[in-house]
Amino acid sequence: MTSKAKIIFHIDMNCFYASVEQALDVTLKNKPVAVAGNPKERRGILVTCSYEARAQGVYTTMSVWEAKRQCPELILLPPNFEKYREASKAMFDVLRTYTHLVEPVSIDEGYIDVTEIVDGAEAIELAQAIQQRLQSELDLPSSIGIAPNKFLAKTASDMKKPMGITILRKREVPKVLWPLPTINMHGVGESTAKKLQALGINTIGDIARKSEYELKLALGKSGVRLWQKSQGIDDRQVDPDSIYDTKSVGNSMTAPDDLVDIKEVHKMVEALCGKVASRLRSKHLVGTTLQLQMRTADWKNITRSVSFKNGIYHYDDLVRESYKLVSKHWHYEPLRLMGITVSHVYDRRQEAQQLSLFDYEEHVKDEPIIKLLDKIKAKFGENSIQKGVFTQRKSNFESTTSFSKDFLDDHRKEN
């Protein structure tokens, strides 16, 4: 007896932040709208923009001044993350009326496994029904990819926007995907694309025509995954419980101007550590690895990390260790982006530190102070009180935070 072929949907909300703003304010309908981290700052960066704005040459990550020059009538709005979280929750609530096999992957996209509720012929009708409900009930447009696995479903949802529904079958991979450049494959970034190009691999078809062994030798495990994707192979299941698997907490920022001065680099480090420390504390997490990411002006990525015996989560500890990584690994190349991530995280409330007698005495002495500081920071903010010279200064840097992952907390509370 053969098992039923999988039917996976990938639902991708179109221009989500801008669409939510248009849904909440009808006067914004059919107008070029953009959400910017700091719309009043010329060097602010667009977080997203409506299709009306895109039709006039505006795009995400464009600076505010460039966008206004390109489209003088562009309506710029500050982000309202609480509204976006509410809209995201409503979207996933709609999806869960069809099946419990719903896996959120970001604030505006997720997978659902509908294998047991429809057959192949009914899949497109179900996708149309879901798309129409999201539009009629929430006034939010979406695109849906239909495929036998997650990779192909994700690829399909990107093929028609806005309001597209696309079926991508495994047998269509050679015709549809192989002619495309490698950068078009989901999961391939600029760095990987350059590595592939150095190997004479320019298209997805070039990947497919290599052997799995060749790719593994050249790129390790990631090479194997790329080869499998090029063949349309993806065995990952739609897992509703994946929302509980927090593995890291991090933030990154793009500087409005390339950073060349150590003081400006330290300002960015402090801003990033403040955000990461706040999120770690709110989630009661600590981590044993601190990672620093630096992207130079010529798009070279530098990633360095340090590991600890005991978990790290305090702001001043994060800043101190990040400073050390910068000092050791930054050679004054102009920087356009920096990121701080704490990984291998676990619940701080269950932490059992292996302390020497001296460490134990020091921790006992500091514990009442630490608890008091945590209470103050929880009430007044991460930067309301800090030790030593690590004072958080106001920064104009635009943040590409992990807010799109924080929305998962809403699902954890409910399910």
Is there a catalytic annotation at residue 109?
yes
For residues 302 and 169, what is the distance between their CA atoms, to the nearest angstrom? Answer: 38
**What token pair was written down for 238?**
């739609």
What is the rounded distance in angstroms from the CA atom of residue 350 to the CA atom of residue 159? 45
CA distance linking residue 239 with residue 326, whole number of Å:
38
Closest CA to 325 of 340, 345, 343, 347: 340
Measured distance CA(360)–CA(310) in Å, rounded: 13
**272: Cα separation from own chain's centroid:** 16
The Cα-based distances of 75 to 13, 27, 49, 61 in angstroms read: 21, 11, 10, 16
Q: Of residues 21, 109, 270, 382, which has the active-site annotation?
A: 109
Q: Let me know: does 278 contact 318? Beta carbons within 8 Å.
A: no
Question: Minimal CA–CA distance to 17: which of 42, 41, 48?
Answer: 48
Tell me whether residue 317 is annotated as binding.
Answer: no
Distance CA(270)–CA(398), nearest Å, equals 14
Consult the annotation and say whether 234 binds a ligand. no
CA 87, CA 138: separation in Å to the nearest integer? 8
User: How many CA atoms lie within 13 Å of 208's alpha carbon, on the beta-carbon side?
Assistant: 19
Exposure string (b/e) for 272-310, b if CB count within 10 Å is 16 or more?
bbbbbbbbbbebebbbbbbbbbbbbeeeeebeeeeeeee
**8 A C-beta contact, residue 280 and residue 345:** yes
CA 28 to chain centre: 27
Contacts of 105 (CB under 8 A, 6+ apart): 111
Token couple for 138: 């929430």
| Residue list for the binding site for Mg(2+) | 12, 108
Which residues does the annotation mark as catalytic?
Answer: 109
